[in-house]
Amino acid sequence: MKTNDVILQTVTKITLFIIILFSIHLFFAGHYYPGGGFIGGLMTSGAIVLLLLAYDMKTVANILPIDYKYMIGVGLLFSVGTGAGALLFDAPFLTHAHSHVLLPLLGDTALHTAVLFDTGVYLVVIGVTMTIIQTIGEDE
């Protein structure tokens, strides 16, 4: 039987951007409000799972040509690099630094190296979740 899920696909096209915006908001709000890298990564992979549900594995691989196993490695490298960067400045491992920077467009912005560590967590969570789901979904 030929099925037609045009409603699901149209709703997915609109909802996907709202979910990804929400996950980015959760990721950047993590320092001052509830949120952070873990739940942000889970929401982003939830958006990709919605894409996988509405379309199929091959279409999603064409849209997002990412090997999620490399994503885990890059995320771990981010976290280790943030920790090891402190060693260059004669500080103990995983010492974080922060300062207020006057950026041209954004004005007075508080930048913290914990964001880089959180980026690592974000990438690892997306990588692990999508690797698990794709590996389970792929067996024939």
Partner 1 sequence: MFELVVYISLVCVSISMLGLIYRVIKGPSIPDRVVALDAIGINLVAIIALISIALKTNAFLEIILLIGILAFIGTVAFAKYLEKGVIIEHERDR
The answer to the question of residue 63 lying near partner 1 (CB under 8 A) is no
The answer to the question of residue 16 lying near partner 1 (CB under 8 A) is no
Q: Which of 28, 46, 85, 128 binds partner 1 (CB under 8 A)?
A: 46
Beta carbon nearer to partner 1, 79 or 121: 121
DSSP-derived secondary structure for the chain = -----HHHHHHHHHHHHHHHHHHHHHHHGGGTSS--HHHHHHHHHHHHHHHHHHS-HHHHHHHS---HHHHHHHHHHHHHHHHHHHHHTT--TT---EEEEEETTTEEEEEETHHHHHHHHHHHHHHHHHHHHHHHHH--
Beta carbon nearer to partner 1, 67 or 91: 67
Binding-site ranges for partner 1 (CB under 8 A): 2-3, 8, 15, 19, 22, 26, 33-35, 39, 43, 46, 49-50, 52-59, 133, 137-138, 140
